[in-house]
Amino acid sequence: MLQFQIRPDSDIPASKQLFDQIRFAIASRQYPPGHRLPSTRQLAMMTGLHRNTISKVYQQLEESGLVESLAGSGIYVKATSHERRSQLNSPLFQQYPEASKLIRKSLDNLLSQGLTLSQIQELLLEEIDWRLRSSAQVLVTVPANDIGAGKLIVLELEQSLNIPVQLVPMEELSQVLAQTQSGTVVTSRYFIGDVEALAAPYSIRAIPVDIYDYSKELEIVKKLPKDSRLGIVSLSGGILNIAEILVHSLRGDDLLVMSAQAGDSEKLNAVIRTSRTIICDRASYPIVKQAITAARDDLIRLPELICSENYIGEKSINSLKRELGIGIEGNG
């Protein structure tokens, strides 16, 4: 808070001293448009002036058009018509009040680099058009031998992005891209090098997503009693292979591990009948739960079923939303 200094022995009335100091703070943008001025109580404690005197100063400032009083809220520095014009013209700026400041700052930065407004407009329109075309069609691709991982990515992207997502085996990607005018290809970071090479001839961008680190699930595995029977179920055979390697690296032969893809009912039933604890992905959870319910009369003890987090990391989801021009909740 600015410290206003009032000299009681001055020939200048105290009210004018305060008026001029506040006006200077506004003119020098120490108090920018929209800034809330201190309450009369705060200023009285700071300056030693009576609150009635401060109220009169605020009234003068309001009559001068420098501030405005909002009932029940306080006194605020008034924006000029120039500063308010975007908010007046578009209700979006009322919904996203920081957007106007961000746009103005970005424009000022670009202008300071020597670009003209016409050039900036061309750059912005080209980027917006690119993102609109990229979000028009989203393809997910993985090798055909691990199509289950692709199904997981598709399920989670459709839920997070609220747009249709198409799954294409990597072996068929070139053929599909040859018939695609625009879009974005998404894949696991495991395969991004091969996918970029396939997408490059068609000028279609490929974006990798990072998978969840399974730290919570690995902590559970660490704490399982020795000789426990652990079941792992997923749509993806590749995930199962990685999961078995990670569990073995943590526990060696301390645990008996069985795994099954959700669509393999024979292996899934074997996992249910022999496992004390089962960890599965979200897409497999209802399938495993239904299988446990169906077999419960034959089970001596129901296994503990643990559903893991999403396959795709949250940061990757948010990054993809930005690339596709889709808003991120909480960042409006």
Q: Do the Cβ atoms of 174 and 204 come closer than 8 Å?
A: no
Distance CA 71, CA 59 (A): 14
Query: What pTM did the predictor assign?
Result: 0.56
pLDDT on residue 73: 84
pLDDT on residue 136: 62
Helices (H), 113-200: 117-136, 147-161, 173-177, 192-199
Query: Which one-letter DSSP state was computed for residue 80?
Result: P
Query: Which one-letter DSSP state was computed for residue 320?
Result: H
Range in 63-72, 77-86, 157-166, 259-268 the model is least confident about: 77-86
pLDDT on residue 90: 60
Whether the CA torsion 266, 271, 273, 279 is positive or negative: it is negative
pLDDT on residue 34: 84
pLDDT (mean) for 164-192 = 89
Distance CA 40, CA 56 (A): 10
Residue-averaged pLDDT of the chain:
86
3-class SS at 70? Answer: strand
Range in 114-118, 142-146, 239-243, 325-329 the model is least confident about: 325-329
Across 48-62, 120-134, 178-192, the highest mean pLDDT is recorded for 48-62
pLDDT surpasses 60 at 329:
no
Q: How far is CA 85 from CA 35, 92, 160, 256, in A?
A: 18, 12, 35, 68
Tens-place pLDDT, residues 63-122: 988 999 888 888 999 876 555 554 445 666 667 767 777 887 888 888 889 988 888 888
Question: How many degrees, rounded to 5, is the angle at CA 219 between CA 218 and CA 222?
Answer: 90
Q: How far is CA 82 from CA 79, 86, 89, in A?
A: 8, 8, 11
